[in-house]
Structure 1
C-alpha cells in the first residue's frame, strides 16, 4: 500500500536514551511517533504521556500497529537482533540503536533478512549525519586535505560506573569501550575514509570487578567481562591507517580526539558522539620552522542546521517516500560490527585479523539537507 505524508514511527525501548529520540523525532515534521513499546508497559505508557504519543504498550502492540512504518529499536545491545528481526518479519522498516548486534552471525542474518524482504534497515550512530561530519566529508571529497593518509582518534576517562546508576550492561559482552563508544569513532572513520581491511588490537582491564559510584545502588560491585582499555590500529582497503585509543581506565577525561591527515593538510574534527557544533580546523604544512608561533589553521564553517539522535530514522522515512538520503545503512553498521569483533579476536589471538566484510563508499548528504523542513506531502 502506497502511503503519503509524515511517516509513522514506533519506538521500542523506553529507557534513558528514549527521551532524546522522542524529543528529537517530535521536532522533525516528516515523521510522527505514533507508539511507544517496552517490556515494561508502565514505563512505555509514562514515556508516551511525557512526549505526547497517542499509543503505548508492549513490544507486540507496536509491531501490530498498522500506523507504524518504521520501528526505532532502543533496546539493550543483546536484544537488538531479536527485536529488529521481529520488526522486519512484521513488515516494518527498522532503525536500530548501535551496535547492530553483538555477534557477526545474528547481525549478518538481520542484514540478509532486510535484503530479501525489502524493508530498509539502518543503525546508529547517526551523529555522522550531523552538519559537522557532513561538512567534513564533503570537504575531504573536494580535496581540502589532499589524499587522506591516516587518522588518529581517542576517547578516555574513568568510565560510566562513575555516573550511570546501572552500568553493569556497559561492562558486559557486547559493550565495553569498544562496543559502547567505538561505533561512533569507527563509523565516522568508515564514512570519511572508507572500509577497513585489517585490524590489530591490544586490550587490558584495570580491574576484574568495578563498583557503582552513583545513584541508589552506589557501592554495589559487579564483574567486568570485556577489555576496558583498547589500543586499535585499523588498515583501510585503500591503504590508509588509523590509530584509535578507547579507554575507561584513565583519570584523564578526554573525548573527541579525531584527526584525518592528508597529503595537503590535517583536518581536526570534534567528538563523533555529537552531531556538530565544534570548530572544524584545517592545518596546512608549515613553510617555516618556528615553534614559538602558534601553528595557523583555517576554519571550515559547518553547513546545515544542528540535528540530533533520530535523524537517521528521518532519513529512512524520507527515502520511503521517494528520497535518497538513507546512508546510515545496515550494511555500514554490519561492517563496523565486523571491525569490532575482529578487534576482539585480535586481542585474544595477539595478531592481525582480516575484516571479511566490506561496504561501498558512503555518499554525503546534500549540502541543503534540513531535518526540520517539511518535505513530505
Structure 2
C-alpha cells in the first residue's frame, strides 16, 4: 500500500512501528499512535472510568472509522493474519471492555482483532495471543478528594476501586487485608508482586501532568517479608547489574543521538554541525518526553526529526520565548514567528556553499 493522504501516511507509520517493535499490531495501537486516542485516557477506559473507547477519543466515531478503513487496507497489503484478543477491564469484576457507544458486535470484533505476520511460527502466535489476552492488573486509586463508597456508604477512605455503580472502598472490594508497598525499589516491587497471590497497582492523578501515576502496590504482608529477605541476600549482585545496565544505556543513547544527528544533516545539510549535535542530544535525552524519545523519534521518522528541528529553531532563533514572557498567547506567538522559522529551515535545507 502506497500512502497518499496525510491520514494514510500517519496510519501506516503508526502501524509499521507497532508491528516492528512488538510483532503484532492492533487498531488501538494505530489510534494511539496517531494521537486520536490519548494513552492517558486509554488508561481511564481500561480502569472503568469511561464507558467505551469512543468516549475518550479526541475525534468523532466517523473519523475513527476512517482510520480503521485505512488500517485494514494496509493489513491486506501486508498479508497479516488475524488473532482475536480479549480486552478486560482492570476492575474487580474483570468486565469485557467496550470500544463503541453502539456496541455493534462486528465493529467490536474489529477492535479486538490483532494482526501478526503470516510467517510467524504458530507457537509464537499462541504465546503472543495469550499474553495480549492476559487480564490487566487490578488498579486502586488514591483519591484526591473525599468520596462516598457506593457499597457501604463510608466517606473517610482514601483508596478506591471503580466499579460500574461507582467507587468502592477497599473493604467492599475485598482488598483491605493487603498492605501498601511504595514504588521506588524495582526489585522489591517485582518480588513482592510475584509472591503475592493477590495484588493491585495503586495510582494517583497528577493534575499538572493530567495523568494517573503509579504510587506502589497493594500486596500480602507475607509477600513483602519474603521480598525483603530476597533483596537483602543479593544486594551486591544487583548493584553490579545496575551499573552494567547504566553503562549499556549510556552507550545506546550515544549511538542513537549520533544516528539522529546524521539524519538531521541529511534533511538539513546546511545546519551547522554543533547545532545538529545539540538538537539530537536535547531531543534524544532518555526520559525527557521530547519528540526524539517518542516512538516515531526512536524509529528515526523524518517527520518526527523535522518537528524536533522546528522546535529548536522556534526557541533558539526567533523571539518566541520573549513573546510568551510578554503574555502573548501561544497560538498568536507561533503565528508571528512562523516566517522566521521558515527562513531558517529554507537556509538549512540548502547545501553549504
Which TM-score band applies after superposition, normalised by the shorter structure? under 0.3
State the structure with bigger RCO (CA 8 A, min sep 6), 1 or 2: 1
State TM-score, norm by structure 2: 0.26
Q: Which has the higher helix share?
A: 2
State TM-score, norm by structure 1: 0.25
